[in-house]
Every structure is written in C-alpha cells, then in structure tokens.
C-alpha cells in the first residue's frame, strides 16, 4: 500500500522519523522540512488542501493533507495526518552485490535496482572494475552518490522501504556475505543453470552478485562458488553491468512471492 486515492498516486516525501501514532480519532500534525519541503513547495508547488504521503524509508508511512505552507528560504509544510500504516519487510530479502560501474552508469545501476525492489546494495570492487574507489575519501563520496540515487529512485518508485547502501567490499568480503546468506547467486553468462531453474528460498536472505563490464575473473568465480554462490545465467544475451541486477530482480519477483 503506497497511498493511492481514487486511482491517483499521491506524491511521497521522506522524513527522518515517523515513530508512533496518534490515538484513533485524534488529529495529528507533522512538519515537512529541509530539502523535501523545498522540493514540495518550490518545485511541485504544493498548496493548502493537497494530499501527500510521508515515509521514513523504513516501512512506516503517514497520509494527510497540507494545512499550511510556510514560505521563505527554508520552507516548511504543516500536514494534518489522517492515516498511518506500516509495510512489513519482505519474507525474502535480496541484497545486490554490485560491481562498481564507471561514470553515470553507476547511479543508473543503483536507480534501476532500487526501482526493481533491491532491499540492499553493496558496492563491490571487483578485479576488472574500471572505476576505483581507492582511499576513504573517494569511497565515502561514492557511497554518498549511491545513497542519493537510491533515495531519489525510491521516491520515484513510491517505495516505503528504501534499500540500505553498504560500504565497499572486496571479493573475499562478498564471499563472506555469500556464506552468511540463505542462498547466493552470481550472474554469469557462462553459467550452466538458468535463473528460472535455480532453487530459491522462500524466506531469509538472498545475495545476488553482479559483476563488472569486463566480467568476473575465474579466480573471483572460484572464490564466490567456494563460498556457496551458484552461477546462473539470465538469458541468451549479455546485459550491461548497470542493468543486469534490475533484470534479475524482476525475474526473482516473478519466481518468488516477492511480487504478490
């Protein structure tokens, strides 16, 4: 449930916290501030009486009506809330270990995976990655860009649960994630098993590993399969590193109960 009313999709805005709930029949007032309020007031030009959805990105949501717009350099929206709900986490949680992609295609990979329903994304510094996040400063900037991309895409997709963006991982660290998961799949065009033929869990944690444009090296594949990851292919064509996760997530949505 994402707050549709009469077939109309209400705009979604993120707030830092959305804890608790008012008692039944008790009016509740929430304030939208910061960049989200600026976007609502100056870009979307929301006014008194318009309706919207607020979410904390962790599944909690509130729907209500704009009572007042406070203008200025730091605009604020006062919202009268009339409904609250919480979206439960998926029974099968999918984390994508995404190899670093060069340029704008990195943000595209995050956006597409977010829209397709990834629950978490982990940047993977694979051997053949052209992009390199060397040094803590560069890594921090990269993670910040991924988080911004996931935030924007999540709002566009009207998600109430935004994906977690983890810190960059090496191949041995991704292998450790595979050991800890209930199942792990590594996308490989050379894989003998098609994704639709793979045995998938109905609950727990599924790790989906997506390699770089140049492909996963044999030593990397050995490390990942040695940790329990199963190579699977998506189809007869080779996908770009930026779109492979989204295609696989779509297939997983249809093959499991993730898409009711």
pTM: 0.89
Q: Is the domain of 74 the same as that of 178?
A: no
Q: Is the domain of 30 the same as that of 103?
A: no
pLDDT value of position 9: 86
> Is 7 within a domain?
no
> Is 154 within a domain?
yes
Rounded average pLDDT per 10-residue block, the chain, 260 residues:
66 84 61 92 91 95 94 90 93 97 93 98 95 88 95 94 96 98 95 92 97 94 97 89 96 92
Q: Is the domain of 105 the same as that of 65?
A: no
Number of other residues whose CB lies within 10 A of the CB of residue 163: 24
Q: Is the domain of 129 the same as that of 204?
A: yes
Q: In angstroms, rounded to a whole number, what is the distance separating the alpha carbons of residues 198 and 101?
A: 27
Please check whether residue 21 is in contact with residue 54, taking contact to mean a CB–CB distance below 8 angstroms. Answer: no
Q: Is the domain of 75 the same as that of 97?
A: no
- Burial class from Cβ neighbours inside 10 Å (0-12, 13-18, 19+) for residue 154 reads buried
> Is 172 within a domain?
yes
> Is 25 within a domain?
yes
pLDDT value of position 236: 83
Please check whether residue 233 is in contact with residue 119, taking contact to mean a CB–CB distance below 8 angstroms. Answer: no
As for how many domains the chain has, the answer is: 2
60, 86, 112 — which closes off a domain?
86
pLDDT value of position 19: 63
SS3 52: strand
> Is 5 within a domain?
no
86, 110, 137 — which closes off a domain?
86
Q: Is the domain of 157 the same as that of 104?
A: yes
Q: Is the domain of 249 the same as that of 123?
A: yes
Q: Is the domain of 118 the same as that of 231?
A: yes
> Is 3 within a domain?
no
86, 109, 140 — which closes off a domain?
86
Range of the domain at 80: 12-86
pLDDT value of position 24: 46
Q: Is the domain of 28 the same as that of 110?
A: no
pLDDT value of position 22: 46
Q: Is the domain of 176 the same as that of 128?
A: yes
Write the CATH number for 246: 3.40.1280.10
Write the CATH number for 31: 2.40.240.20
Q: Is the domain of 33 the same as that of 126?
A: no
pLDDT value of position 20: 53
Q: In angstroms, rounded to a whole number, what is the distance separating the alpha carbons of residues 124 and 117?
A: 19
Q: Is the domain of 129 the same as that of 250?
A: yes
> Is 4 within a domain?
no
pLDDT value of position 4: 65
pLDDT value of position 233: 93
């Amino acid at each position: 449930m994402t707050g549709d009313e009469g077939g109309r999709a209400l705009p979604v805005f993120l707030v830092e916290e959305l804890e608790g709930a008012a008692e039944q029949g008790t009016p509740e007032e929430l304030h939208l501030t910061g960049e989200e309020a600026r976007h609502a007031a100056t870009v979307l030009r929301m006014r008194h009486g318009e309706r919207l959805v607020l979410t904390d990105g962790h599944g909690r949501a509130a729907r209500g009506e704009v009572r007042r717009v406070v203008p200025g350099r730091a605009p604020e929206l006062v919202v009268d809330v009339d409904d609250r709900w919480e979206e439960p986490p998926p029974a099968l949680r999918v984390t994508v270990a995404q190899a670093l992609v060069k340029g704008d295609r990195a943000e595209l990979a995050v956006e597409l995976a977010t829209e397709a329903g990834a629950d978490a994304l982990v940047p993977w510094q694979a051997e053949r990655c052209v992009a390199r996040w060397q040094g803590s400063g560069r890594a921090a900037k990269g993670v910040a860009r991924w988080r911004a991309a996931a935030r924007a895409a999540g709002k566009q997709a009207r998600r109430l649960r935004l994906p977690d963006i983890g810190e960059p991982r090496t191949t041995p660290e991704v292998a450790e994630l595979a050991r800890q998961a209930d199942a792990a799949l590594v996308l490989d065009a050379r894989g003998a098993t098609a994704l639709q033929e793979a045995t998938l869990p109905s609950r727990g944690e599924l790790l989906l590993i997506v390699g770089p444009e140049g492909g996963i090296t044999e030593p990397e594949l050995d490390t990942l399969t040695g940790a329990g990851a199963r190579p699977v292919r998506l189809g007869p064509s080779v996908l770009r590193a930026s779109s492979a996760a989204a295609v696989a997530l779509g297939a997983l949505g249809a093959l499991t109960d993730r898409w009711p």
